[in-house]
Chain A
Amino acid sequence: MSAYDVIVVGSGPAGQKAAVQAAKAGRRVALIEQLKEVGGACVHQGTIPSKALRERAVERRRIADRLREMGMPWESPVSDVASLIGEMTEVIHNHDAYMAAQIKRNGIDVIHARASFLSDSLMQARFTDGRAAEFSAANFVIATGSKPRKPDNVPIDHESIYDSDSILSLGYLPASLVVLGGGVIASEYASIFAVLGVDVTMIDRSAAPLGFLEPEMISGFLTAFARYGGRFLGDAPLDRVAFDGISEVHTHLKDGRVIKSDKLLCALGRISQIDGLHVERAGVKVNERQLVEVNAFGQTSVPHIYAAGDVIGPPSLASAAMEQGRRAACHMLGIDPGRQGDWMPSGIYSIPEIASVGLTSEQTRARYGSTVVGLARFNEIARGHIARCLDGVLKMIASPDGVVRGIHIIGDNATDLVHIGQMGLIHSATAETYVENVFNFPTFAECYRVAALQITGQLGVARARIAAGAN
């Protein structure tokens, strides 16, 4: 039996960072991963493949749009699905190789097996050939991630009815696709497939998708989605889904409507992946949603067993998982992880991209009494015209004292652009900060100044400045 200082289960963003942090601290670390590659669902089924597909879809759409403008219509932005998948595979392979090299460089033992707890200090690994081995450790990190939720009324067969882990196994683009759900994954895939020329119908019980976002972001998403031929059916609770036995999937709604499509993607959330891990043998508590319960340091109900990433629940972002993994490892080893940032950005890789950081209007109003809002539209920005990206919006939300409390962006580069706002929030920047500082021109960052000017204008600060300058 091998003994380790730390055993990490799962090599996704959380597990990988936890393992690397522990190894860098000089500990003997084992990383148990059930897939034959490292990276977890993030690299092989989720974040990386879908984003790679998204980029290729956007590229092809741009080419199609340009050709159309030049009088050379190209009806389908995608003629060869195999090439799309091939390019995606290449991205995954490169990312996998980079991560494997990092793990090797840090002297981490990677064990490709399925793990299960035997006790709070002993773990069994079962290999594909049926062998089993036992490993002991002083500390553990559970970072086994999540898997798609399978509602009883949606018979997922990965042939006509897919989940978010199998949708990218499609060998060709279907003529039509129903996407169940209104969350991040549903919105991302719905918009990507719509841009690829698929007739997409997105169905959700909520009135609008991405309901946690600012209204401008939601309307921006829906406008773009409709332009690409997508259709959103809101307030439409699902009754059941059935393959018709011929060639179509029938989505029966509670109001009696039946939506027919070639294929269906069920994106009604993800649940924690702890099947077979037998956390109960270690005394680790899970809640009623099967999420592993942790404290602020990532500790489970058993102090030397930590958990990080999707297995502990929201925000279910790869970026957050990485930091949770690192902080968990730091805490278990008595290393100061540094002050935890208050502001975590979120990115939605739909087409167009959406990103936000900080408070929403509602949260700002609740906390500070009222809001002052500045909106900068990409069509007011030189870069928007240059890049032919005119539909974007940056929304800046300030409290009455002029301090910026939230940034919300939809449009090209939103997921990168949001980090300027994040830095501003960290340093409690006021709207004036954005007005008084110079940004490169022409860039989308100019949106920050435009939005900030609206806020300072409303607050009367600008007028006061001018008056003071005149005197």
Chain B
Amino acid sequence: MLAFALDTRAFQLPPLPGVAAEVIASSIDDQADATRLADLIQTDQGLASHVLRVVNSPSMRAATEIVALRQAIARLGMTRIREIAIAASLAGALFKPMRYKVEALQAWKHGLCTGLWAKEIARAGRKNTEMAYLCGLLHNIGSPVLLNALGQATSQSLPPCDIASLLEEFGAQAGALLAKEWKLPEMVVTTVRCVHAFETAGAQTDAVAIVNAAQHMSAMMHRGELSSESVLGLEAIRYLNLYPDDIAALLSFRDSVSGALEASTV
């Protein structure tokens, strides 16, 4: 049923919420400035409250309470605020299906964690960090769409293992449809489509390999299996030419990734 729906495009693709679209656009717009983003965030009540919750979370360790968005921007920096805003706007728009809430939250956390690791891998390889984050964050954007569709299509809940296999089988296809529909940057579209087969990404192979490695690291971290050995065994890590020394340096960011993840999901 899912395959048919995807093939025939008889699929309910949610519209990209206005604020999310603008926040994403600001992340690839060289003219974007702090004032514009602050204005943008202030136009969305949910987004504003989420940003303030995040900056005041224990892991951010603010010395004083943050009471204003501009103060939050000053505290965390434009790049970080933008990341939180993108993640939060997508969470609000997509990751709240009526059913499968646990799976949806897990998918969102996985996207976020992938984005955070992708950024560090990109930094280690002297690649673009901003794009790596965005591609990592959005790489599994098909998951909530599928979860929504599943929730609407059947009256009874499927067991978790079935859901996992459906997401694995159709997630990329659904995500690619959504990314195109939303007119996301070409690199994001390619990442969503090729993340599980990065070698097929053509000119974007390096960028997609970063996200591939990051999503494996995110999954390993979730399972408590993140180690030098496990990362060293990743095909994408070898493709990216990262050596054991580089991986040791990369894993030193584990706490900061964990902290950022915790802060963003308060």
B-binding residues in A (CB < 8 A): 34-36, 45, 82, 86, 89, 112, 114, 126-130, 157-160, 165-166, 169-175, 243, 245-247, 262, 276
B74 pairs with A170, CB closer than 8 A? no
Interface residue ranges of B166-221 to A (CB < 8 Å)? 186, 203
Indicate whether A128 sits within 8 Å of B243 (C-beta atoms), given known contacts A86-B203, A157-B123: yes
A174 pairs with B78, CB closer than 8 A? no
Instruction: Report B-chain residues with C-beta under 8 Å of the C-beta of A171.
Output: 28, 128, 130-131
A158 to B79, CA, bound (A): 13
A169 pairs with B128, CB closer than 8 A? yes
Instruction: Report B-chain residues with C-beta under 8 Å of the C-beta of A262.
Output: 30
Instruction: Report A-chain residues with C-beta under 8 Å of the C-beta of B131.
Output: 171
A129 pairs with B232, CB closer than 8 A? yes
Instruction: Report B-chain residues with C-beta under 8 Å of the C-beta of A172.
Output: 28-30
A130 pairs with B244, CB closer than 8 A? yes
Total contacting residues, chain B, CB less than 8 A: 33
Interface centre among B31, B79, B186 (most CB of A within 10 A): B79
Quick one: which of B77, B237, B245 contacts A245, CB cutoff 8 A?
B77
A247 pairs with B34, CB closer than 8 A? yes
Quick one: which of B73, B128, B186, B237 contacts A128, CB cutoff 8 A?
B237
B74 pairs with A174, CB closer than 8 A? no
Instruction: Report A-chain residues with C-beta under 8 Å of the C-beta of B76.
Output: 245
Indicate whether A159 sits within 8 Å of B129 (C-beta atoms), given known contacts A128-B243, A245-B74, A246-B78: yes
A160 to B130, CA, bound (A): 10
**CB nearest neighbor in A for B30:** A172
- 6 nearest CB pairs, A to B: A247-B78, A172-B30, A166-B126, A171-B128, A36-B241, A247-B34
Instruction: Report B-chain residues with C-beta under 8 Å of the C-beta of A127.
Output: 243
A170 to B242, CA, bound (A): 21
B238 contacts partner chain A, Cβ-Cβ < 8 Å: yes
A153 to B237, CA, bound (A): 32
A252 to B232, CA, bound (A): 41
Nearest CB of B to A124, in Å: 13
Interface string of B1-43 (1 = CB under 8 A from A): 0000000000000000000000000001111011000000000
Interface centre among B78, B122, B131 (most CB of A within 10 A): B78
Instruction: Report A-chain residues with C-beta under 8 Å of the C-beta of B122.
Output: 169
B123 pairs with A130, CB closer than 8 A? no
Instruction: Report A-chain residues with C-beta under 8 Å of the C-beta of B123.
Output: 157-159
B245 pairs with A276, CB closer than 8 A? yes
A150 to B151, CA, bound (A): 54
A272 to B77, CA, bound (A): 34
Quick one: which of A112, A128, A169 contacts B126, CB cutoff 8 A?
A169
Instruction: Report A-chain residues with C-beta under 8 Å of the C-beta of B242.
Output: 128
Instruction: Report B-chain residues with C-beta under 8 Å of the C-beta of A45.
Output: 126
**CB nearest neighbor in A for B134:** A171
B99 contacts partner chain A, Cβ-Cβ < 8 Å: no
**CB nearest neighbor in B for A243:** B77
Nearest CB of A to B213, in Å: 12
B238 pairs with A246, CB closer than 8 A? no
Instruction: Report A-chain residues with C-beta under 8 Å of the C-beta of B238.
Output: 128-129
B130 pairs with A246, CB closer than 8 A? no
Q: 13 additional contacts, CB 8 Å, given A114-B245, A126-B243, A128-B237?
A: A36-B241, A127-B243, A129-B232, A130-B244, A157-B123, A159-B130, A169-B122, A169-B129, A172-B28, A245-B74, A245-B75, A246-B34, A247-B33
